[in-house]
Amino acid sequence: MKTITRITSVLLFSLLVLTACSKDDDGGTSAAGDGELTATVDGASFESFPEATTAVESNAGGVQTLTISGGTMDSENIQIMIIGFEGVGTYDLNGVSLGSYTYLEDTSNFNSAMVFTTSTGAASNGEIKIAEYTAGGTVTGTFNFTGYLTSNTSQTVAVTNGAFNVTIQ
69-114 pLDDT tens trace: 999 999 999 999 999 999 999 999 999 999 999 999 998 888 999 9
First to last CA, the chain: 52
What is the spatial distance between Cα 77 and Cα 101, in angstroms, rounded to a whole number? 6
SS3 18: helix
**What is the extent of the structural domain holding 32?**
23-167
C-alpha separations of 111 from 100, 149, 157 in Å: 17, 15, 20
Domain count, the chain: 1
Q: Which residues of the chain have pLDDT under 70?
A: 1-34
The pLDDT, as a whole number, for residue 30 is: 44
Residue 50 lies in a domain: yes
Residue 87 lies in a domain: yes
Residue 66 lies in a domain: yes
Residue 73 lies in a domain: yes
Q: Are 58 and 34 in contact (CB under 8 A)?
A: no
The pLDDT, as a whole number, for residue 34 is: 64
Listed residue (52, 57, 46, 51) closest to 69, CA to CA: 52
